[in-house]
């Protein structure tokens, strides 16, 4: 018997050794799920199953790579390489590419991201002369997305009077027409959105029995991780593919189902037994990850949910510290508490930053945490949020590359046809769109034949369009002999894209140039990487990677350790020794949008459960009594989840604030700066829960006068207050070096200084953001 089997506990081993037939593994948080999946695949291969016949669907591409790596260690890398592993989206994008012609798509179809989809829908709403306040593009996209994930095609929609009635009652009778136009336009553009990757796969398997048979035969063993988060569309794909051999193994935890909003159907896991009556069920209930205080605290909360499978998570680990609950006065103080606490834990226990994670409900919360960490000089990395690839300058360059591959890509074309400005304005684009719709051709086709088609565009503009097409076609020819990096580099040079970014001279512009450079480097790395591993290094493959990459996939190693900042959703599947969960306030977590129904609230509770069970050694839960939201100060109540934790496992602590903060400028951080080493919280105090949660600490008011005095004293000491900077000052900027102030303009937050830097020349900087130090 292989040695790795000895490393498993009883239920884990049983799950690994169950080779054939349908099975479900209910895997509690931290119960060694990945280990089981890894060994299970290794075991299958040892039993003579060809890796070509194994399909493993994971939640992130990174998880797939790591698992492949671990399997490689057991059975050999050359064998493991042949496994099909990846996310639903990336695996089926690959299959769709090779079968695209069946569906009338080009094999190099574009993948539209959410931004592309929203822009297209916005355009359609405008073209249809509909009120964009009534038809909110994002809302419409969500609705279309839920149609697609339930396999409701345009035709199905128009055959379903209930759906149409619902849209009519919502005063959006044209929803179906928008849906139809959106689908048509995507098709004409040779583009699929995220949901299409699943919907079209279903279409492919349903319409072409030979294709279905081919993949059924190919994927004799199918494993699906995070099964609780699959939606109906994914569920149908899996069921179709597994239908012939029925060797289907799904792994999941109903308590960690947190993607209901994007169509995940918890029933998929709850009803698995109904679909496969002879299913074997395994339960992994021993948690190896966390202290028993954390496990018990988490259990006590999730027990409040009615909808759940029967299981009891337990651990043999030590009790460990209590879960700490911390009340702070503001979101600013919350951030400083987190930073201070991380710093102390690092000092006291000799820990590196990568042992810490800060988790929050919404991306917007990261700001306060970032500010505080930066002030303490603690390195961090943000996952999610606005991704690198969403930035305007990056999307613009990528759009050029997309056009080379697929000239029909309408969204890419609209982005770059007049960027950098070449005198092709909105009016011209509108005319082109109308012609494209009229002749049922793509916009690019119209432009290509601009001289033979009857459009009301003047000769000068026609020449400009001609030049544009010629340029694109030149790139296309070059692309046949050059690699992705050389092409991207050529595009940047020929279009003068960087020059355009440079000419505004602002720090933002500099940053954008750096981003473009980073993208070029990224393409270079991609190519080297793929050539080394013998994989597809084409531009198409790069663009697909970009479209489907998650933040974790680009995770660079050999960097210095950093604190991880991310939403709770993104933290699923990860673990950290020290976890801070911030913003535990009513209307934020649970979210105000999710408190209307029991099932929404239960999903929020599962989300909290996921957050808490990320922690190995210690968990800190914080909430703020006031918080800036939409730029306004708002009051908050402690989250109900705090009260739901069994009191035996928690402890309340209060930050010691040296001076109550009066406003943003007179923030406590100003006072802290020179005493960072002092331990800043009081010893943990156990208070009565109700009393603690109910107590409101009102900041003591300082009279505005003394306030201002204190402020200016401080600022003169610390060079942080913009009032100090005047003409002729010599200042220091952390990127541009030293310079002389030439002029000051604007006031309040818009106050700018014009500075002559010795390195980069004249710059206008917003004092609010440019952390300038007066040095003379």
Partner DNA sequence: ATTGCACGCCTTTTT
Partner DNA sequence: GGCGTGCAAT
> Which member of 33, 89, 185, 296 binds DNA (CB under 7 A)?
89
Residues 6+ away with beta carbon under 8 Å from 524: 485
Question: How many angstroms separate the CA atoms of 227 and 224, rounded?
Answer: 6
Question: How many angstroms separate the CA atoms of 13 and 8, rounded?
Answer: 6
Question: Residues 383 to 422: which contact DNA by CB under 7 A?
Answer: 384, 392, 418, 421-422
Measured from the CB atom, the residue of 379 and 629 that comes closer to DNA is 629
> Which member of 631, 675, 701, 747 binds DNA (CB under 7 A)?
631
Q: What is the C-alpha end-to-end distance of the chain, expressed in Å?
A: 75
β-strands 615-629, 632-635 pairing = antiparallel
Annotated catalytic, 174? no
> Which member of 132, 134, 438, 598 binds DNA (CB under 7 A)?
132
List, in sequence order, every beta strand (DSSP E) within 77-165. 84-86, 110-112
| CB 123 to DNA: min, Å | 9
Binding flags for DNA, 253-292, as an x/- string (CB under 7 A): ------x-xx------------------------------
The residue from 116, 193, 226, 253 that is catalytic is 226
Stretch binding DNA (CB under 7 A), from 278-286, 356-364, 681-689, 734-742:
356-364
Measured from the CB atom, the residue of 676 and 749 that comes closer to DNA is 749
Measured from the CB atom, the residue of 258 and 621 that comes closer to DNA is 258
Binding site per annotation, positions for ATP: 27-34
Closest CA to 488 of 542, 536, 452: 542
Binding flags for DNA, 507-546, as an x/- string (CB under 7 A): ----------------------------------------
List, in sequence order, every beta strand (DSSP E) within 342-416. 356-360, 380-382
Question: How many angstroms separate the CA atoms of 206 and 720, rounded?
Answer: 65
Stretch binding DNA (CB under 7 A), from 129-137, 407-415, 650-658, 711-719:
129-137
Closest CA to 484 of 528, 448, 514, 441: 528
Question: How many angstroms separate the CA atoms of 573 and 460, rounded?
Answer: 58
Annotated catalytic, 614? yes
Q: Should residue 467 be labelled a site residue for DNA when binding is judged by CB under 7 A?
A: no
Question: How many angstroms separate the CA atoms of 83 and 66, rounded?
Answer: 13
Count of beta carbons in the 10 Å neighbourhood of residue 437 = 16
> Which member of 435, 570, 624, 645 binds DNA (CB under 7 A)?
570
| CB 192 to DNA: min, Å | 12
55: β partners: 84, 222
| CB 141 to DNA: min, Å | 9
The residue from 614, 617, 640, 763 that is catalytic is 614
Question: Residues 744 to 773: which contact DNA by CB under 7 A?
Answer: 749, 768
Q: Tokens at residue 95, please?
A: 């299959």
Binding site per annotation, positions: 27-34
Q: Should residue 246 be labelled a site residue for DNA when binding is judged by CB under 7 A?
A: no
Q: Tokens at residue 182, please?
A: 């959106």
| CB 569 to DNA: min, Å | 4
Annotated catalytic, 225? yes
> Which member of 134, 138, 598, 717 binds DNA (CB under 7 A)?
138
Measured from the CB atom, the residue of 479 and 725 that comes closer to DNA is 725
Measured from the CB atom, the residue of 264 and 313 that comes closer to DNA is 264
Binding flags for DNA, 700-739, as an x/- string (CB under 7 A): ----------------------------------------
Q: Tokens at residue 663, please?
A: 């406003």
Q: Tokens at residue 5, please?
A: 């089997």
Annotated catalytic, 33? yes
Q: Should residue 362 be labelled a site residue for DNA when binding is judged by CB under 7 A?
A: yes
The residue from 12, 201, 256, 428 that is catalytic is 256
> Are 335 and 372 in contact, with CB atoms under 8 Å apart?
yes
Annotated catalytic, 256? yes
Binding flags for DNA, 574-603, as an x/- string (CB under 7 A): -----------------xxxx-----x---
Q: Should residue 364 be labelled a site residue for DNA when binding is judged by CB under 7 A?
A: yes
List, in sequence order, every beta strand (DSSP E) within 142-297. 191-193, 221-224, 248-252, 280-284
Residues 6+ away with beta carbon under 8 Å from 105: 96, 187, 190, 192, 200
Question: How many angstroms separate the CA atoms of 486 and 489, rounded?
Answer: 5
Closest CA to 12 of 28, 242, 75, 245: 28
Measured from the CB atom, the residue of 109 and 276 that comes closer to DNA is 109
| CB 466 to DNA: min, Å | 15
> Are 684 and 654 in contact, with CB atoms under 8 Å apart?
no
Question: Residues 21 to 80: which contact DNA by CB under 7 A?
Answer: 60
Count of beta carbons in the 10 Å neighbourhood of residue 306 = 8
Residues 6+ away with beta carbon under 8 Å from 444: 403, 407, 408, 413, 469
Question: Residues 420 to 459: which contact DNA by CB under 7 A?
Answer: 421-428
b (16+ CB within 10 A) / e for 180-201? bbbbebbbbbbbbbbbbbbbbb
Question: How many angstroms separate the CA atoms of 336 and 218, rounded?
Answer: 54
Binding flags for DNA, 165-194, as an x/- string (CB under 7 A): -----------------------------x
Phi, then psi, of 163 in degrees rounded to 5: -65, -45
The residue from 113, 167, 195, 225 that is catalytic is 225
Q: Should residue 695 be labelled a site residue for DNA when binding is judged by CB under 7 A?
A: no
Question: How many angstroms separate the CA atoms of 213 and 197, rounded?
Answer: 19
| CB 412 to DNA: min, Å | 15
| CB 648 to DNA: min, Å | 30
Q: Report CA-CA distances (Å) from 59 to 15, 56, 250, 549, 553.
A: 20, 10, 12, 12, 12
Count of beta carbons in the 10 Å neighbourhood of residue 5 = 14
Measured from the CB atom, the residue of 88 and 343 that comes closer to DNA is 88
Gyration radius (Cα) of the chain, Å: 29
> Which member of 361, 448, 640, 733 binds DNA (CB under 7 A)?
361
How many residues bind DNA (CB under 7 A)? The answer is 54
Summarize as ranges the residues that interact with DNA (CB under 7 A).
60, 87-90, 113-114, 119, 122, 126, 132-133, 136, 138, 194-195, 259, 261-262, 361-364, 384, 392, 418, 421-428, 461, 548, 550-551, 567, 569-570, 591-594, 600, 628-632, 664, 749, 768
**Which of the residues are catalytic?**
33-34, 225-226, 256, 614
């Amino acid at each position: 018997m292989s040695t790795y089997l000895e490393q498993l506990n009883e239920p884990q081993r049983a799950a690994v050794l169950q080779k054939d037939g349908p099975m479900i593994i209910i895997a509690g948080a931290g119960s060694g799920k990945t280990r089981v999946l890894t060994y299970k695949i290794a075991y299958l291969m040892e039993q003579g199953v060809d890796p070509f016949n194994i399909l493993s669907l994971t939640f992130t591409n990174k998880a797939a790579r790591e698992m492949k790596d671990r399997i490689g260690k057991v059975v050999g890398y050359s064998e493991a390489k042949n496994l099909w592993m990846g996310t639903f989206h990336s695996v089926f994008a690959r299959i769709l590419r090779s079968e695209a012609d069946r569906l009338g798509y080009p094999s190099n179809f574009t993948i539209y991201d959410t931004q592309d989809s929203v822009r297209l829908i916005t355009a359609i709403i405008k073209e249809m002369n509909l009120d964009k306040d009534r038809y909110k593009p994002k809302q419409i996209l969500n609705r279309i997305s839920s149609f697609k994930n339930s396999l409701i095609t345009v035709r199905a929609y128009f055959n379903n009077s209930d759906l149409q009635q619902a849209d009519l009652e919502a005063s959006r009778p044209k929803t179906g027409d928008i849906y139809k136009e959106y689908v048509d336009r995507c098709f004409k553009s040779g583009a699929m959105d995220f949901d299409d990757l699943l919907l079209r796969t279903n279409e492919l398997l349903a319409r072409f029995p030979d294709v279905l048979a081919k993949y059924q035969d190919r994927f004799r063993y199918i494993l699906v991780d995070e099964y609780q988060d699959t939606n109906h569309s994914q569920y149908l794909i899996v069921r179709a593919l597994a239908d012939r051999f029925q060797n289907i193994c799904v792994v999941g935890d109903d308590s960690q189902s947190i993607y209901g909003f994007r169509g995940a159907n918890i029933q998929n896991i709850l009803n698995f037994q109904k679909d496969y009556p002879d299913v074997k069920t395994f339960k992994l209930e021993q948690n190896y990850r966390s202290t028993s205080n954390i496990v018990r605290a988490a259990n006590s909360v999730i027990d409040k949910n009615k909808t759940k499978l029967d299981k009891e998570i337990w651990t043999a680990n030590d009790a460990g510290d209590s879960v700490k609950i911390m009340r702070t006065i503001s979101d600013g103080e919350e951030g400083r508490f987190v930073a201070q606490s991380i710093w102390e834990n690092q000092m006291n226990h000799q820990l590196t930053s990568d042992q810490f994670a800060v988790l929050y409900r919404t991306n917007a919360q990261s700001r306060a945490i970032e500010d505080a960490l930066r002030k303490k000089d603690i390195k961090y990395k943000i996952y999610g949020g606005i991704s690198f690839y969403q930035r305007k300058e990056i999307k613009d360059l990528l759009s050029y590359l997309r056009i080379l591959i697929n000239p029909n890509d309408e969204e890419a074309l609209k982005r770059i046809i007049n960027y950098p400005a070449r005198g092709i304005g909105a009016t011209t684009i509108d005319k082109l769109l109308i012609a494209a719709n009229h002749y049922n051709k793509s916009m690019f086709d119209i432009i290509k034949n601009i001289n033979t088609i009857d459009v009301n565009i003047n000769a000068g503009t026609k020449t400009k369009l001609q030049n544009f097409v010629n340029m694109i076609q030149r790139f296309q020819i070059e692309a046949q002999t050059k690699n992705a990096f050389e092409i991207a580099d050529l595009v940047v040079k020929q279009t003068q894209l960087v020059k355009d970014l440079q000419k505004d001279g602002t720090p933002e512009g500099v940053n954008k140039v750096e981003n473009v450079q980073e993208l070029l480097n990224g393409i270079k790395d991609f190519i080297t990487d793929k050539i080394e591993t013998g994989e597809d290094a084409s531009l198409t493959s790069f663009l697909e990677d970009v479209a489907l990459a998650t933040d974790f996939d680009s995770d660079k190693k050999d960097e210095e350790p950093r604190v991880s900042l991310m939403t709770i959703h993104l933290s699923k599947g990860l673990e950290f020794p020290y976890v801070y969960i911030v913003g535990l306030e009513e209307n934020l977590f649970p979210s105000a949008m999710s408190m209307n129904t029991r099932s929404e609230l239960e999903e929020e509770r599962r989300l909290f459960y996921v957050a808490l069970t990320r922690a190995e050694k210690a968990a800190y839960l914080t909430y703020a009594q006031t918080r800036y939201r939409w730029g306004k100060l708002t009051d908050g109540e402690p989250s109900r989840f705090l009260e739901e934790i069994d009191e035996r496992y928690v402890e309340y602590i209060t930050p010691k604030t040296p001076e109550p903060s009066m406003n943003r400028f007179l923030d406590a951080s100003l006072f802290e700066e020179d005493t960072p080493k002092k331990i800043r919280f009081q010893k943990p105090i156990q208070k009565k829960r109700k009393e603690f949660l109910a107590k409101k600490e009102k900041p003591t008011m300082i009279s505005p006068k003394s306030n201002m005095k204190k402020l200016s004293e401080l600022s003169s000491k610390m060079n942080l207050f913009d009032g100090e900077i005047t003409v002729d000052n010599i200042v220091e900027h952390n990127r541009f070096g030293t310079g002389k102030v030439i002029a000051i303009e604007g006031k309040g937050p818009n106050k700018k200084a014009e500075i002559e830097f010795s390195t980069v020349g004249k710059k206008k900087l917003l004092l609010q953001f440019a952390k300038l130090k007066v040095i003379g």
